[in-house]
A and B are shown apart, each in its own frame.
Chain A
Amino acid sequence: MKKLSKLLLAISFAVSMATSAFAVTVVSWGGAYTESQKLGYGDPTAKALGIDINWVDYSGGLSEIKAQKEAGKITWDIIDVFAMDTITGCDEGLFVEFDFDKDFPAAPDGTPASKDFFTSMPSKCAVGNILYSWNYAYNVNNIKGTPKTIQDFFNTKKFPGKRAIYNGALTNLEIALAADGVKPGKGGANIYEALETEAGVERAMNKIKELCTDPKGGCVFWSAGAQPPELLVSGEVVMATGWNGRFFGAEVGEGAPIKQVWDAQGLDYEYFVLVKDGPNYANGNAMKALAMMTNTEMLAGSAKHIAYAPWRKSSLSIIEKNEPWYKDGKTNMLSQMPTAPANTKNYFLVDPIYWADNGTELGEKWEAMKAGL
């Protein structure tokens, strides 16, 4: 009996090894996000193509794939990455450059893929996946009145209490300038123009510093996406910047007393990249799976589970026609999307090129600012 179970274990292990060798490995951030990807388009794609798709979690960054390449043993096929990483990875030659309209299917109405996306891709290696937002939220029980604008986030006289902000310069400098009176302009062009100068960066840093040293304000720095809703619910802070999907999850999914504010939100993107010489690169399976996962219907599928907007404009019309789209069967998703017209009255697009250029230096300045708090 013992021998038999051992044998069975060995066989099942061998079988799993054999099948996973053929499975397309998609690497993403884990948690509710990967769950939405898996249920939304991973499983349907796997079924339609007859290819196994294997989801692996990672914590971002390109160090793993770079190490895999240097060691000569690449095990990942597709990676879910930030815009900045698509640029760096493309420059390093880690990812495949796409011939966009040839590699990706057109929208149902015939619009070519490259015209179906919200803005152009940050690099030739990137294909859009979702759009998410850096917005802010507040705890309705701990605030008198209704914060509406980004100025309210910095207004400690009207809304006293601590704020939670991201532990890094990314998007903090942008909202600081927006609150300090810089009109974002088209896609945030004015903000980034101001941030190109030393004076602009200093102005933004000072605004943050002012908020954090204000006796009526003060800052808590968050580094994990789960922190902002938790800090709000526990009452540790009265307002927090964060990712809209997390706020949505707490507000709608768990019924927490928090509300989102979309003024001067930073729209940011997640992309898929195809790893050059990955295990399923030569046989074309990885590309096939990627093309299908990012088509109109598939992308719409993930929005059933999480409040991130599909990258394709054509996916939104599918959601619109089939509301309520959220998995609970009663929540309209479109108004929860960062791209909803009501939410995009005043916004900026997080500029990956600016951050790829200046990220390290601004990171240093950010730490220096924090050390002086």
Chain B
Amino acid sequence: MSSETQQILTTDGIPLEVSLKKAERKNKLKAFLLVAPLLLFLIITYVFPIGDMLIRSVDDREVTNMLPKTFKAMKGWDGQDLPSEEVFEAFYFDMKLLIEERREGKLSTEMNFTKNGFKSILKKLRREMKKFDEGNYKEQIMAVHKRWTDVEYWRAIKARSPSFTNQKYLKGIDMYTNEKGEIVSVPEDRQIHRVLWLRTLEVAFFVTVFCFLMAYPIAHLLATLPMKYSNLLMICVLLPFWTSLLVRTASWMILLQQQGVVNDFFVTIGLVTDDNRPEMMYNKTGTYVAMTQILLPFMVLPLYSVMKTISPSLMRAGKSLGGTPFVAFWKVYFPLTIPGIGAGCLLVFILAIGYYITPALVGGASGTLISNQIAFHMKSTLDWSFASAMGLMLLTGVLAIYWIYNKLVGIDNIKLG
């Protein structure tokens, strides 16, 4: 009771608290409306596509719905020997319906993702099926192509029966579920994804390290030089940034190849003999050099923006308190640049992890990275669900690194510019 009597009222008799809340709500709504376009943009361009990718990577209902009878008949099949006549018959009728609806092509594409070789045998089956007699479908289907007598192909069909699947993710790390339901590695001569993941991480890591080592002195110079020199230096840093990626990559190829400008120079000054020119292109060295140069500005700029704010008097104070220049740098200056280092390293690493055109051109035998595979499945095989799965694995990796960074350094301790 007493609280009601103490309530403060505004001039029009509404309690102040309510009135304030109302005004606040209005402001909040205004603020929300201001950011709404951005929010909408983020949802449309970011949240929605990632959600779509996630669904695509696990959703296998399309195939499940294409062969309903077959999958039902396969329930009792243990996957050891060839399935029984019942399964063949169900498969025949499923196929018949698919051909009538002209969807059998889609099935052949999908099945070919699970096991190579399906495309042609399904096409052949379509042609031959018109001539089939009633009954004894097992024999008739097996007579179409010898692959139909291979139990591996029937196992591949059974593997597609669940509506939702984790097979694409397993494939991304060179594993699959065998007929006994165990998760095992694929044959050795086809294991590439693990190699590519490690190689991608390795390249991204070393490019980040090289970028850091090169960018730190440059950024320091930029921050400490008088304006008229630092502006010129800044332009030198940014100029390559404005040049097309492919032009820069091609220039490195011309410079660094065995018969290239740099090697010619080495031979002219007698550093190496003509028939013993070092290989600096079409291997990892080429990848590191080209990518470091391309990504350098992303390291320089955050470092510069942080160093610019560090007062030069701090170093002087450190030295006047008895520290050697190195101690003063290490104890005073370096810790202050950590937000810039964090931002630069994260930026470069994340960009490097998704690179693929440059490594493909300059990297030679080691030029394939995981993003090349994603692009390959996006563009050539049209296995978008596998591409989505790998894309999400890459995204998860990046988020994990972000999380580790947050644990080690703290994400609010980052300065992007």
Contact = CB atoms under 8 A, between A and B. Distances in A.
Interface of A: 59-63, 66, 84, 87-88, 90-93, 162, 167, 202, 212, 219-221, 223-224, 234-236, 353, 356-365, 367-371, 373
Task: For the complex of A and B, list the 5 residue pairs with the smallest distance between their C-beta atoms, beginning with the closest.
Answer: A91-B105, A61-B379, A361-B116, A235-B259, A367-B192
B196 interface: yes
B120 A370 contact: no
A167 B254 CA distance: 19
Contact of A220 (B112, B364, B380, B384): B364
B195 interface: yes
B192 A90 contact: no
Given A167-B360, A221-B282, A66 B382 contact: yes
Contacts of A371: 192, 195, 199, 365-366
Interface of B: 102-103, 105-106, 108-109, 112-113, 116-120, 123, 188-192, 195-196, 199, 254, 257-260, 282, 360-361, 364-368, 376, 378-384
B290 to A, nearest CB: 14
B382 A370 contact: no
Chain A binding surface SS class: helix
Contacts of B117: 357-358
A177 B196 CA distance: 28
Contacts of B258: 162, 236
A221 B380 contact: no
Nearest to A219: B365
A88 to B, nearest CB: 6
Contacts of A360: 112-113, 116, 381, 383
A234 B259 contact: yes
Given A91-B108, A236-B260, 15 more contacts: A60-B379, A88-B382, A90-B105, A91-B119, A162-B258, A167-B360, A224-B361, A359-B116, A359-B380, A359-B381, A360-B113, A360-B383, A364-B192, A368-B188, A368-B191
Contact of B116 (A59, A357, A369): A357
A212 B365 contact: yes
30 contacts: A61-B378, A61-B380, A62-B382, A63-B382, A66-B382, A93-B102, A93-B103, A93-B106, A212-B365, A220-B364, A221-B365, A234-B260, A353-B120, A356-B119, A356-B120, A358-B116, A358-B117, A359-B381, A360-B116, A360-B383, A363-B376, A364-B190, A364-B192, A365-B189, A367-B192, A367-B196, A368-B189, A371-B192, A371-B195, A373-B365
Contacts of A353: 119-120, 123
| Residue with the highest number of chain B CB atoms closer than 10 Å, among A66, A87, A221 | A221
Contact of B190 (A63, A88, A234, A361): A361
A189 to B, nearest CB: 15
A157 B257 CA distance: 23
B119 A87 contact: yes
Nearest to B368: A367
A92 B120 contact: no
A363 B199 CA distance: 17
A360 B108 CA distance: 14
A219 B378 CA distance: 27
Contact of A92 (B105, B367, B380): B105
A365 B364 CA distance: 17
B268 to A, nearest CB: 16
Contacts of B260: 234, 236
Given A91-B105, A368-B189, A368-B190, A62 B379 contact: yes
Nearest to B105: A91
Contacts of A361: 116, 190
A220 B260 CA distance: 14
A194 B188 CA distance: 21
B324 to A, nearest CB: 48
Nearest to A64: B379
Nearest to B361: A223
A357 B120 contact: yes
Contacts of A367: 192, 195-196, 368
A218 B188 CA distance: 24
Contacts of B376: 363
Contacts of A356: 112, 119-120
B187 to A, nearest CB: 9
B364 A88 contact: no
Contacts of A87: 119
B257 A234 contact: yes
B366 to A, nearest CB: 8
